[in-house]
Structure 1
């Protein structure tokens, strides 16, 4: 594809300059990113790295967030996580809390070494599952001066299901099934996928949040050919990784500022509120956006609190 071709699901802004960039994490995986820079600036800029949604690519929500923030006098990047999108990794459509946390740190490495970025003014943004991963990164990297997160606790969902309705017995049964699948797939190139979201419209009887995912990932509103969630989903073998992990083992280590954003009607709201309770310090804030669902915060410009996110970063970067 022509690198100059605009392949995002959102319109290109005439207020920023855009280019594609790459950088490498310390596992040796090259990461692809879109870089957005405000026009007509002077001096060095504050910067932010954006990732999410979990199972999405930089042409979707993370790019929208990055471009919109760049319009407000920042340099931003939206990157594809390892093993997804245009980023590297020989195996495709898998995830790792360790490697994906490092992806953020590699983004901070990159931003810290750009001549027009102030390395003391770098923040990160995480959307959906990347909200939890962004906080996990902030807990181990003090270079991150501010973190804004639409938080989803993927290990909690992996271990206990939505709304903590799963059981240890169900979790063990899933691990056993996938372990047997690994034995069958040994040496194979094509590995079974967990399945993406339902084609739109999702069947009657599905929870509202499942229908909302379908309405985003499976329609022209948010579909992208490289998006894991828009297509066949994650590799099935990767699923147990969330069942035996934990984000924010040491939340007290996040000394710098945090803004957690959630929709009032988001099915994931409980995850953000419970995560917020773990944080310490007066520089932590929780914002609940009236009437918003989880997916409203993916792309609805009149519902995403960009002015609040901007003021948060301007105060803390």
Structure 2
């Protein structure tokens, strides 16, 4: 799918309405989001609702909109948002990444949905795609208003920052990273602005990419999912916040609220979902989509198990 004239990476269904909205999180940052609902939605009745976060580095015009539209077709009120400091949401400097703020953005989405007269405050759930999977679970650990939480192609970004890829980082590696971040703070002070980690190029190199990077480039750089506000880079010094974050150590406290984890059979991120399913103590389910890679769960509507998502939220967001 290529970017449409309306700026989204998918075609808006004739059955669904999309309304741009703005609201503030508890830090005073204005969040840009879209509300999706079926055009025939009965507004005299309070409906279940779902807040949906994008992949780490993604925006609402990509995966969140794909999920929100399909769930709106199935009767849910769905909200896809841009994280703080990214996309069309406010916050300076741009492109900060923060595990605390990005988890708060889910709670802020719950706040907003709860102001809509056709949403039942007791029937709100959350979906986190890729990096937002970890942030959605983090939010659910402390925000009991999130009655059910699902993740798709989950990454625990803070776990990667703290422990390294596949938990391979040593204490010495961590210390070197902290020293590098400290040096970068001085460099930012001297430059008068924060430096960004590498952003996506204008086109995918023909060779020299490892398979995981090549997969991300297929989505973010090429026509499939490219969006000009989804640049891939974040302020380098944001890494310190992730290293110092508490990870998902309180995952057991989501119980007795249910968790649904969706991953791909061929997803390089699958081990994150496997780890969470072992840690969770309440109702939990792991779905492995045959043949799916990590990025296929961003936008491939023929692979994303929407029937299972509908069943999960319908059963667990009952009035």
Do both proteins adopt the same fold according to a TM-score greater than 0.5, normalized to the shorter chain?
A: yes
TM-score range, shorter chain: over 0.9
Contact 2:150–2:259 under 8 Å retained in 1: yes
Equivalent position of 1:47 in the other structure = 49
Unaligned runs of 5+ in 1: none
Equivalent position of 1:105 in the other structure = 107
Contact 1:133–1:247 under 8 Å retained in 2: no
* Secondary structure of 2:66's aligned partner: helix
How far apart are the structure 2 equivalents of 1:107 and 1:76?
10
Q: More deviation in 30-39 or 160-169?
A: 160-169
**What TM-score results when the alignment is normalised by the length of structure 2?**
0.93
Contact 2:200–2:231 under 8 Å retained in 1: no
Q: More deviation in 155-164 or 13-22?
A: 155-164
Unaligned runs of 5+ in 2: none
* Secondary structure of 1:291's aligned partner: coil
Equivalent position of 2:146 in the other structure = 144
Counterparts in 2 of 1:198 and 1:7: CA distance versus 1, 3 Å: closer
* Secondary structure of 2:108's aligned partner: helix
Equivalent position of 2:135 in the other structure = 133
Aligned residue pairs, count: 309
Give deviations 1:253-308, integer Å, cap 9, x for gaps: 10211101101111111111101111112x21111111111111011111111111
How far apart are the structure 2 equivalents of 1:193 and 1:90?
13
Give deviations 1:75-119, integer Å, cap 9, x for gaps: 111000100011011211011111111111111011112101111
How far apart are the structure 2 equivalents of 1:21 and 1:198?
31
Q: More deviation in 153-162 or 216-225?
A: 153-162
Is 1:194 aligned to 2:188, yes or no?
no
RMSD: 1.6
How far apart are the structure 1 equivalents of 2:27 and 2:49?
24
What's the CA shift for 1:24? 0.6
Contact 1:100–1:133 under 8 Å retained in 2: yes
Contact 2:252–2:281 under 8 Å retained in 1: yes
**What TM-score results when the alignment is normalised by the length of structure 1?**
0.93
Equivalent position of 1:267 in the other structure = 268
